[in-house]
Amino acid sequence: AQSVTQPDIHITVSEGASLELRCNYSYGATPYLFWYVQSPGQGLQLLLKYFSGDTLVQGIKGFEAEFKRSQSSFNLRKPSVHWSDAAEYFCAVGSSGGYQKVTFGTGTKLQVIP
């Protein structure tokens, strides 16, 4: 069965500092990987996705993520965090082949301090 681990429940960074959110997945084949962001009271918005090809993926709002097969990781990064980035971030893995089933991690809540 596929699964996702986000080891950091809560992260605090200063505005302007760099950010890295960790994500490890478990899946038997080449996974489809996603990062979503959820602001308070809102639904989830897709930041970026990896299906194949270049392992460094660019997303919206200045985010990027790198797929590392050897480490089963898909960490999310941003070079300079803005106060508006405060939200909860979810990593997800999708099954390949047939109807896709997406499994979400438990999320990392990001706090940005001035």
Smallest gap from residue 15 Cβ to another protein (A): 26
Contact 34, 27 (CB under 8 A): no
Closest CB to another protein among 27 and 34? 34
* Inter-CA distances, 37 with 30, 90, 99, 100, Å: 23, 6, 23, 20
- Helix, strand, or coil here: 40? coil
Contact 78, 87 (CB under 8 A): no
Smallest gap from residue 17 Cβ to another protein (A): 25
Residues 6+ apart with CB under 8 A from 28: 2
Contacts with another protein, residue ranges (CB under 8 A)? 4, 32, 34, 36, 41-46, 49, 51, 90, 92, 94, 98-107
Closest CB to another protein among 44 and 86? 44
Smallest gap from residue 74 Cβ to another protein (A): 15
Closest CB to another protein among 15 and 104? 104
